[in-house]
Amino acid sequence: MNITRENKDALNAVVTVAIEKDDYATKVEKILTDYRKTANIPGFRKGHVPMGMVKKQYGKAVLIDEVNKLIQDGLNKYLTEEKLDVLGQPLPKPQDDIDWSSENFSFEFELGLAPDFKVDLKSKKAITHYNIKADDKMIDDQIINIQKQYGKLISQDTVTKDSEITGTFTNEAEEIDNKVTLTLDKFKGKATEKQFVGAKVGDVITLKTKGLYEDDHELMHALKVEHDKAHGLNIEVNFEISEINKRELAELDQELFDKLFGKDGVKSVTELKDKIREDAEKQFVQQSDQKLLNDVTEHLVENTKFDLPAEFLTKWMQTAGETTMDEATAKDEYEKSEKSLRYQLIEAKIMEANGLKVDFEDVKESAKAMIKMQMAQFGQMNPTDKELDDIAARVLSNQEEVKRLSEQVVSQKLLNLYKEQANVKTKELTYDKFVKEVYGDK
């Protein structure tokens, strides 16, 4: 077998695989001999079928199968030995006129080659890494929420500003019939609050849905309607009050602290505030790191310039999936996935250039950290190493979980690298200001 390559340009090549009779003859002969021993053909005893008849009946199929195996094995070996970084898979050039009665064969395959490029982590403009702090207002609000959550409900005769009101939203024409518990501070306008204050159980209040809440997602949950329907919904709904309560705040005492953090985990309001601040800022770190990772990724994709074998990849995508695509669909799919493909190449280049690898121990430790965190949420603060190893083994038996954890490990390694090598500036601000700066609103 002889394999040669002709480079059409920097991103495209054609590989020719030439197969001669000596490459396959012995193997084909052996398979046909084995067939002869077991062939069951009427008029002949088992094992005594003439070889000519066996070749006539099975010869072509065996030959095609063996030649295809030779091609596949030869191509894989060639790509490895030549250290060719290919995109997709080799595409066979159409050959409808193969003469399988001849002794020698030649096949051509198109290759899409990965581009050669360099990645510069140092952007001219610094990328912001946010250091998000929990301010006093956030801590105080969280304490109030805790006091409400663990407080007592006291029945009321009439609605006041701080009541918790249970009732049912209805609109017969729109088939709305949903029981909820709400508080007046969630409504957008003061006029709605005035409609409720002083109302009693059994009263029915008519409300307009347009502008009822600041966020239409609140309306979606209140009325239990589809997402698209909630946006811009402009109808009247009735709300019949069935229960009115006032929530008495729980005392900030040792009994509450122990419920929240275990016995003597927190011993004062000051320690409670410190604990809430610490937990909140841990979550902020995850959010800030993800924002940095996204921003560096976006910068690299936009500023690392290289060409791709677009025509080859479009053609490859037509047959790469479970179902065959036509040319127009494949072109559309390629355009949608081009940005992702570019980042995959950039990521691989960065990993290789910096010696970053993900091995099984990395994935296992990531699994154990995840398990430990989940167990802590259910009060199991100190699991043994054996417990963690046993659960991790079950998690890692799932290939989808292994893939997900591996991707998380890669992201963490890249994040650490970006913090060290990218042009990053730190900006400290509160969570509210972070949301406003990054997302444009609160």
180, two tokens: 């909820």
- Domain of 420 in residue numbering reads as 267-439
Q: Judge if 306 and 423 occupy the same domain.
A: yes
Q: Is residue 188, in this structure, part of any structural domain at all?
A: yes
324, two tokens: 């065959």
- The full DSSP string for 362-408 is HHHHHHHHHHHHHHHHTT-----HHHHHHHHHHHTTSHHHHHHHHHH
263, two tokens: 């016995």
Residue that finishes a domain, picked among 198, 213, 248: 248
In the prediction, which pLDDT does 442 show? Answer: 45
In the prediction, which pLDDT does 96 show? Answer: 79
The label of the residue with tokens 């030869």 reads 74
Q: Is residue 133, in this structure, part of any structural domain at all?
A: no
Q: Is residue 293, in this structure, part of any structural domain at all?
A: yes
Q: How many domains does the chain have?
A: 3
Lowest mean pLDDT segment, chosen from 125-139, 197-211, 428-442: 428-442
d(CA 366, CA 402): 10
Share of the chain above pLDDT 70, in %: 99
Closest among 166, 165, 211, 169 to 187, alpha carbons compared: 211
Cross-strand bridge partners of residue 130? 427
Q: Are 91 and 318 in contact (CB under 8 A)?
A: no
Helix (H, G, I), strand (E, B) or coil at 324: coil
Region 368-381: mean pLDDT is 84
Helix (H, G, I), strand (E, B) or coil at 340: helix
Q: Is residue 255, in this structure, part of any structural domain at all?
A: no
**In sequence order, which ranges of 304-326 are alpha helices (DSSP H)?**
310-320
CATH of the domain at 65: 3.30.70.1050
Provide the 10 A C-beta neighbour count for residue 71.
19
Q: Give the gyration radius of the chain's Cα atoms.
A: 34
Region 270-280: mean pLDDT is 94
Q: Judge if 189 and 300 occupy the same domain.
A: no
In the prediction, which pLDDT does 192 show? Answer: 94
Residue that finishes a domain, picked among 98, 113, 128: 113
Residue range 6-53, pLDDT digits in tens: 999 999 999 999 999 999 999 999 999 988 888 777 778 777 788 888
Q: Is residue 259, in this structure, part of any structural domain at all?
A: no
Q: Judge if 355 and 433 occupy the same domain.
A: yes
Q: Judge if 100 and 244 occupy the same domain.
A: no
In the prediction, which pLDDT does 40 show? Answer: 75
pLDDT category at 150 given cuts 50, 70, 90 is very high
Q: Judge if 315 and 367 occupy the same domain.
A: yes
Angstrom CA distances, 329 to 112, 310, 320, 323, stand at 20, 14, 13, 12
Share of the chain above pLDDT 90, in %: 81
Q: Judge if 299 and 421 occupy the same domain.
A: yes
Q: Judge if 218 and 346 occupy the same domain.
A: no
Question: What residues have CB less than 8 Å from 313, skipping those under 6 apart?
Answer: 87, 88, 112, 334, 341
Residue range 180-219, pLDDT digits in tens: 999 999 999 889 999 999 999 999 999 999 999 988 889 9
Res 352 pLDDT > 80 = yes
Region 165-174: mean pLDDT is 96
The label of the residue with tokens 């091995």 reads 359
Q: Is residue 392, in this structure, part of any structural domain at all?
A: yes
Q: Judge if 221 and 85 occupy the same domain.
A: no
Q: Judge if 189 and 273 occupy the same domain.
A: no
pLDDT category at 423 given cuts 50, 70, 90 is very high
Angstrom CA distances, 219 to 90, 161, 236, 237, stand at 53, 20, 13, 11
Q: Is residue 135, in this structure, part of any structural domain at all?
A: no
Is the model more confident about 110 or about 383? 110
In the prediction, which pLDDT does 441 show? Answer: 56
Q: Judge if 428 and 390 occupy the same domain.
A: yes
Amino acid residing at 229: K
Region 329-355: mean pLDDT is 95
CATH of the domain at 180: 3.10.50.30
In the prediction, which pLDDT does 53 show? Answer: 86
- The full DSSP string for 170-193 is EETTTTEEEEEEEEGGGBS-HHHH
Region 369-386: mean pLDDT is 84
Q: Judge if 81 and 208 occupy the same domain.
A: no
Lowest mean pLDDT segment, chosen from 92-101, 162-171, 249-258: 92-101
Residue that finishes a domain, picked among 55, 87, 113: 113
Query: Chain-centre distance of CA 114, in angstroms?
Result: 25
Mean pLDDT of the chain: 93
CA atoms within a 13 Å half-sphere pointing along the CA-CB vector of 101 = 2
In the prediction, which pLDDT does 407 show? Answer: 95
Q: Is residue 238, in this structure, part of any structural domain at all?
A: yes
Res 232 pLDDT > 70 = yes
Res 276 pLDDT > 80 = yes
d(CA 354, CA 358): 13
Q: Judge if 290 and 364 occupy the same domain.
A: yes
